[in-house]
């Protein structure tokens, strides 16, 4: 139950400001250990909650902090091709659940969670370029060369055409003429010199949104909340209910709230780290072996540090 939860202290560490290199050098091992433990605790704690405690509101300042952290996500050319709708109103969530979510699990998660965050991906990101350009100019952090190419390169890379309506259901044909032309152009030149990889705007935008969504889940976890990313819904219906314009896709929603019957989670105190690991292990879903995922030097080539690690484990076990 919610009473079991102690809000994670991890945000304290995540909130550390950037230090000068001289003070960073002098920072104690103890402090960096704590930061690492705090982050590892959050990573291990994050999991997809199956059930949420119904009718529990999350305080506004918590939402604000989570959304602020989410907006620090990286994105191609810093175009930030996302919007997100925070659905707290039970009535709207009920409609969304009933008319667009697929399967009972997703339906009751959408209803029970404190909110669902609906991520929208901009399928016409070139419309953001002027605004981003101005922001960048005001911030004054970029080199002149970057600013000079920002407009052209970002529009070129995002592979955008003027046929956004094709995406209106989030699933239309996304291989447009302009992308194909650019792809042909880059394919021809690629053997001669490195060229940007062309992808359609939908995959480019979804890629960026996925990164922001992960930032969101970690930020929510750091606040002691649970999340469940969901793609099991009818995007066309969802867009209709939430009046999401054709310009945007709706690739992902994240149910967020207090997990029903969650085990106690503590990762503030270093001494309790073992307990945290034990708890998170119990509910951790399986993953492929690292050696099936990570390669060294070329595709499929075993990564030496993984081999060494395995030898070490075998030696220790023997
Ligand atoms: C893109 C994406 C879509 C997902 N869609 C759903 C979904 O519709 N319903 C659901 O119950 N879980 C969904 N999940 C959660 C996955 O089932 C879960 O992440 C996976 O089983 C690994 O478990 P873990 O998140 O607890 O580590 C989704 C996860 C991702 C990343």
For residues 98 and 9, membership in a common domain is answered with: no
Instruction: Give pLDDT tens digits for 15-45.
Output: 334 445 555 555 678 888 999 999 999 999 9
Paired tokens of 169: 């259901």
Determine the average pLDDT of the residues in 81-101.
98
For residues 165 and 203, membership in a common domain is answered with: yes
Atom 31, ligand 1: residue with shortest CA distance: 229
Q: Is the beta carbon of 231 within 6 A of some atom in ligand 1?
A: yes
Q: What dihedral angle (degrees, nearest 10) is formed by the CA atoms of 123, 125, 127, 132?
A: 150
Residue 164 has pLDDT above 50, yes or no: no
At CA 139, angle to CA 137 and CA 140, rounded to 5? Answer: 65
Q: Per-residue confidence at 275, pLDDT binned at 50, 70, 90?
A: low
Q: How far is CA 286 from CA 43, 213, 281, 282, 289, in A?
A: 15, 21, 10, 11, 9
**Cα–Cα distance between 25 and 255 in angstroms, integer?**
40
Domain range for residue 78?
A: 50-261
Atom 9, ligand 1: residue with shortest CA distance: 230
Phi-psi region of 77 (alpha: psi -120 to 50; beta: other; left: phi over 0): left
Residue in the structure block whose two tokens are 């996500």 = 73
**Cα–Cα distance between 38 and 11 in angstroms, integer?**
8
Instruction: Give pLDDT tens digits for 298-311.
Output: 999 999 999 988 77
For residues 7 and 29, membership in a common domain is answered with: yes
**Cα–Cα distance between 1 and 190 in angstroms, integer?**
57
Q: Is the beta carbon of 232 within 6 A of some atom in ligand 1?
A: yes
For residues 79 and 5, membership in a common domain is answered with: no
How many separate domains does the chain show?
3
Helix axes 29-45, 201-222, angle to 10 degrees: 110
10 CB contacts (<8 Å, ≥6 apart)? 38, 39, 41, 42, 222, 267, 268
Q: Per-residue confidence at 273, pLDDT binned at 50, 70, 90?
A: low
For residues 19 and 72, membership in a common domain is answered with: no
Q: Which pLDDT score, from 0 to 100, does residue 106 have?
A: 98
Report residue 293: phi and psi, to 5°: -110, -45
- Identify the CATH number of the domain in which residue 115 sits: 3.40.109.10
Mutation pick for ligand 1 pocket among 230, 253, 285 (CB with most ligand atoms within 8 Å): 230
User: Quick one: how far is CA 46 from the chain centroid?
Assistant: 12
Q: Which pLDDT score, from 0 to 100, does residue 159 have?
A: 65
For residues 226 and 302, membership in a common domain is answered with: no
How many angstroms does the Cα of residue 228 sit away from the middle of ligand 1? 6
Q: Which pLDDT score, from 0 to 100, does residue 15 have?
A: 35
Task: List the single range of 86-90, 172-176, 235-239 with lowest mean pLDDT.
Answer: 172-176
Mean pLDDT computed over every residue of the chain: 84
How many angstroms does the Cα of residue 77 sit away from the middle of ligand 1? 28
Q: Which pLDDT score, from 0 to 100, does residue 17 have?
A: 40
Name which residue leads in pLDDT, 264 or 204: 204
Three-state DSSP class for residue 302 = strand
How many angstroms does the Cα of residue 281 sit away from the middle of ligand 1? 17
Q: Is the beta carbon of 172 within 6 A of some atom in ligand 1?
A: no
Task: Tell me which long-range contacts 90-95 makes (C-beta under 8 A, separation of at least 24).
Answer: 90/55, 92/241, 92/242, 95/241
Q: Which pLDDT score, from 0 to 100, does residue 191 have?
A: 85
Query: Given the DSSP bridges, would you call strands 248-257 and 226-230 parallel, antiparallel or unpaired?
Result: antiparallel
Residue 252 has pLDDT above 50, yes or no: yes
Name which residue leads in pLDDT, 67 or 280: 67
Q: Which of 239, 256, 218 has the alpha carbon at shortest distance from 83?
A: 239
For residues 57 and 146, membership in a common domain is answered with: yes
Name which residue leads in pLDDT, 4 or 276: 276
195 CB contacts (<8 Å, ≥6 apart)? 186, 187, 189
Q: Which pLDDT score, from 0 to 100, does residue 314 have?
A: 76
Share of the chain above pLDDT 90, in %: 62
For residues 105 and 134, membership in a common domain is answered with: yes
For residues 156 and 191, membership in a common domain is answered with: yes
For residues 298 and 180, membership in a common domain is answered with: no
How many angstroms does the Cα of residue 246 sit away from the middle of ligand 1? 26
Q: How far is CA 253 from CA 21, 43, 116, 176, in A?
A: 39, 20, 6, 26
For residues 230 and 186, membership in a common domain is answered with: yes
At CA 260, angle to CA 69 and CA 116, rounded to 5? Answer: 40
**Beta strand residue intervals within the chain, DSSP E:** 82-87, 115-122, 226-230, 248-257
Residue 168 has pLDDT above 70, yes or no: no
Q: How far is CA 26 from CA 18, 19, 37, 68, 158, in A?
A: 14, 10, 19, 30, 43
Q: Per-residue confidence at 193, pLDDT binned at 50, 70, 90?
A: confident
Instruction: Give pLDDT tens digits for 98-156.
Output: 999 999 999 999 999 999 999 999 999 999 999 999 999 999 999 999 999 998 888 77
For residues 123 and 37, membership in a common domain is answered with: no
Q: What dihedral angle (degrees, nearest 10) is formed by the CA atoms of 150, 151, 156, 158?
A: 80
Paired tokens of 32: 């960096």
């Amino acid at each position: 139950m919610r009473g079991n939860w102690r809000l994670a202290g991890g945000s304290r560490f995540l909130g550390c400001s950037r230090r000068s290199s001289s003070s960073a050098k002098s920072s104690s091992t103890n402090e960096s250990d704590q930061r690492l433990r705090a982050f590892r605790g959050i990573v291990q704690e994050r999991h997809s909650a199956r059930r949420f405690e119904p009718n529990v509101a999350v305080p506004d300042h918590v939402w604000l902090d989570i959304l602020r952290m989410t907006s620090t996500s990286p994105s191609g050319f810093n175009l930030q091709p996302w919007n997100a709708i925070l659905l707290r109103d039970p009535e709207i969530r009920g409609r969304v659940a009933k008319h667009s979510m697929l399967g009972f699990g997703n339906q009751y998660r959408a209803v029970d969670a404190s909110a669902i965050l609906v991520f929208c991906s901009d399928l016409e990101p070139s419309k953001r370029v002027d605004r981003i350009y101005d922001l960048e100019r005001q911030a004054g952090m970029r080199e002149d060369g970057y600013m000079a190419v920002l407009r052209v390169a970002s529009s070129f890379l995002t592979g955008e055409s003027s046929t956004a309506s094709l995406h209106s259901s989030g699933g239309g044909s996304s291989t447009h003429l302009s992308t194909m032309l650019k792809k042909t152009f880059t394919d021809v030149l690629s053997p001669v010199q490195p060229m940007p990889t062309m992808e359609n705007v939908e995959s480019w935008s979804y890629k960026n949104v996925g990164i922001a969504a992960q930032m969101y889940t970690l930020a929510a976890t750091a606040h002691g909340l649970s999340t469940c990313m969901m793609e099991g819904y009818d995007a066309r219906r969802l867009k209709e209910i939430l009046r999401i314009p054709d310009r945007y896709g709706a690739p992902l929603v994240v149910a967020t709230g207090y997990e029903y019957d969650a085990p106690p989670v503590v990762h503030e105190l270093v001494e309790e780290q073992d307990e945290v690991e034990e708890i998170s292990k119990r509910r951790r879903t399986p993953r492929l072996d690292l050696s099936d995922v990570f390669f060294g030097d070329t595709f499929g080539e075993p990564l030496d540090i993984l081999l060494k690690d395995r030898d070490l484990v075998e030696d220790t076990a023997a």
